[in-house]
Amino acid sequence: MSSSPDVIVIGAGVLGLSSAAELAARGHAVTVLDPGGSNASSAAAGMIAPAMESLIDGLSPDHAALLKRGRDLWPAFASRHGLTLHLDGAEWRGADPDAAVARLHALGFAAGRAGEGLFTPDDWRIEAQAALGQLSAIPGVTRVEATVARLSRADGVWTATADDSREWSAPSLVLATGAAAALGGLPDDVTAVVNAIEPIRGQLTPIRCAVPAQVIRGPGGYATPTADGALCGATMQSGDRSLEPDTEIAAKQAANGLSLIGGEGQAGEPRVGVRGASPDGLPIAGVTGTPGLFLALAPRRNGWLLGPMVGAIVADGIEDRAPLADASALSPLRFVSQPAARSAG
C-alpha cells in the first residue's frame, strides 16, 4: 500500500496532531502514521497552565512569557478545530501564598489570594483524550496505524517505510515521535538531537469523586476536573521508560487528590506515558538543516500548552513563511552546530 500526501507526520501525540491540524487548515493533505494505543499526550491532564508552570518551576520572565504566548494561541486553535477549551483558572495551595501571588504578578500573570492559597484565571485546560480524537478526525488529516521502521529521501521526496513494508512518500516529513529513539535514515545531526532527548515517565491516577470547580495544585501534586471526578498526578521520573503502572504511586496520588478536593472517592486505573524533554526544557520544533525534514518533539510536560505554537512553527517552516517570533527559541538548530546544519542542507 502506498499514498502520496503533501506531508507525512510520524507520531499522533499532541505535537504531531497539532502540526497536522494546522497544516490541514492551510489546505495540505496530511497523513499521520502512528502505532496506535496510548501515548504521553493521552496519559496527560490536558493542562494549559503557563502561570502555574512558571511558578512551580521558577521559570525566567522570558520563559514564562513564551508559555503565555503559547496559551494565547489556544482560543483560535480550539475554535478552528471544534475543541472545547475550559477557562476555569487554577488554584494553588502551598506555603507563603502572598509571595506566590507577588511572583506571578512579577511575571505578568493575574493572581489573587483565595482561601489559604491563591487563584489565577490565566491557566486553562482541555480534555486530552477527547481532543486527540477530534484532531485525528479533522478534514485533510488521514491517520494510519503503522509502525515506521525506517526513512529514506531521494529526489526531494521522503519515504516512510513501515515494519510491514507499506510505504508513504511526501516532500515534507514531520518527526513527532516523542521520546523514542531516532529512526534509521535520518541525517546524523538530527539523529544526535533526537537521541539526546531525555525520557521522563509520567503517571497520573483518575478518581471518581465530587468534581472540583477548577484545577487545584499543591506541593504534592494536582487534581484536575473530569466528567465524573478528577485526574490526580503527576510524576516526573527522569530516564524511566517503564509503562507499567506503579500501584504505590497511584495510591499516593489518589490520596493527595482527595485531600486537595476534600471528600471521598474511588481510584481508577492509572495512566502512564513517557514524555520527552530537551536540555533547556523547551520543545524542539521547526526546520532542520535537511530539506523537507521538520521536528515537533520534546515538550517536557507542556505539550498541550504549546501544541498550537509548535503546529504553527512547523507549518510556517513547511510553507517557507516568515516564522513566529518564538520560532528561534524552539528551533532544532539551537542544538546543532551551524557548520553541521549548513552542510546538511
Give pLDDT tens digits for 263-311: 899 999 999 999 999 999 999 999 999 999 999 999 999 999 999 999 9
- 320-333: average pLDDT: 96
Q: Which three cell numbers stand for residue 244?
A: 507499567
Q: Which three cell numbers stand for residue 194?
A: 533526537
Q: Is residue 345 scored above 90 in pLDDT?
A: no
Q: Measured between alpha carbons, how far is residue 28 from residues 106, 131, 141, 338 in Å?
A: 41, 20, 9, 30
Rounded distance, CA 75 to CA 57, Å? Answer: 25
Rounded distance, CA 212 to CA 114, Å? Answer: 15
Rounded distance, CA 215 to CA 198, Å? Answer: 27
Rounded distance, CA 186 to CA 300, Å? Answer: 23
pLDDT in tens, 92-145: 999 999 999 999 999 999 999 999 999 999 999 999 999 999 999 999 999 999
2-41+131-197+279-344 classified as CATH 3.40.720.10: no
Q: Is residue 4 scored above 80 in pLDDT?
A: no
**Residues of the chain with pLDDT > 90: what percent?**
94
pLDDT at 47: 97
87 contact partners, CB below 8 Å, separation of at least 6: 121, 124
pLDDT at 3: 53
Which residue type does 195 have?
Answer: N
Strands 167-170 and 157-162: antiparallel
Q: What is the pTM of this model?
A: 0.95
pLDDT in tens, 17-62: 999 999 999 999 999 999 999 999 999 999 999 999 999 999 999 9
Q: Is residue 339 scored above 60 in pLDDT?
A: no
The dihedral of CA 300, 124, 228, 130: what is its sign? Answer: negative
